[in-house]
Amino acid sequence: MSEKQYEVRMTDFALEAVHEIASYIARELFNDAAAVRWLERILDTVSALAYFPERVPLTPEEPWRSIGVRRMTVGKHYLYFWIDEERSCVHVIDVVYQRMDQVKRLSHMPLT
């Protein structure tokens, strides 16, 4: 029995969020090494979504939960994504610092 593998894509919105967070760690916190470690952790987590992404629970916030948006914790951030079963694709749509207003951020997040 073979396990299903998904293609994992990051939206431009998610890529911009990752860039902003890594830049903040490097420039504002003056810690290039921590920025690199954080970026590696995020990219490893994104890559791991190629297998069994459904293991990650749906986000508790509505209406995003009802449309299948999932949320996983990566350190002090949430990674949001949805699964397109028809195309065997996982779409990473945002990475957000946990202390931010999640509903406000979700309301600005494009789903495609």
Count other C-beta atoms under 10 Å from residue 2's C-beta.
Answer: 4
Which residues does the chain have with pLDDT short of 50? Answer: 1
How far is Cα 39 from Cα 20, in angstroms, rounded to an integer? Answer: 11
pLDDT one-digit tens code per residue, 24-36: 999 988 889 999 9
In the chain the domains, ranked by start, together with CATH numbers, are: 7-108 (3.30.2310.20)
Prediction pTM value: 0.92
Give me the residue label for tokens 């990475």.
95
Contact 1, 84 (CB under 8 A): no
Note the pLDDT tens digit of each residue in 93-102: 999 999 999 9
